[in-house]
Amino acid sequence: MQSVYEAAGGANGLVRLADAWHARVLADEEVSHAFSHGYRPDHGERLAAYWAEALGGPTAYSDRYGDETAVVRIHSGNGAHDEMDRRAIACFEQALEDVGLTDEPLRHVLRDYFAWATTTTMARYHESADDVPAGLTIPRWSWDGLQA
């Protein structure tokens, strides 16, 4: 069976999706606040590598950039942001359209993954990035959801 990573177009497909999502969030008044401090020029490439690893692709993110602890720390210590999360998820759904990912089972899995990651792993440590434990690994997501 084809992995979610492969069904989404592999590395190139996820770069296109990451770039489309990033364009959407930068245009959103609420979500763009998360990028107001600036962002890396290779943000789309890094995000796509992270998604690729989470969705059954190569371990390029962990091999090059760091582990889940580093990712979660970047997203931690900013207080609760439920509305920003909701809008980031809406931007993701729009980005799926933007890049032509119209297959409903794939859209459903990708949306579920993104919503789960946004509202759980990336939102777990509202108070301080120092609360994030060391040694976390990137959670894996399949057609059946979170892999145990």
pLDDT digits (tens, 9 = 90+) for 41-75: 888 899 999 999 999 999 999 999 999 888 888 76
User: Tokens at residue 123, please?
Assistant: 């939102």
pLDDT value of residue 79? 62
CATH T-level fold of 4-146: Globin-like (1.10.490)
Pairing of strands 145-146, 141-142: antiparallel
pTM of the model: 0.89
Residue boundaries of the structural domains of the chain: 4-146
pLDDT digits (tens, 9 = 90+) for 106-145: 999 999 999 999 888 878 877 788 888 899 889 999 999 9
C-beta of residue 138 within 8 angstroms of C-beta of residue 62? yes
Please determine, for residue 80, whether its predicted confidence score (pLDDT) is greater than 80: no
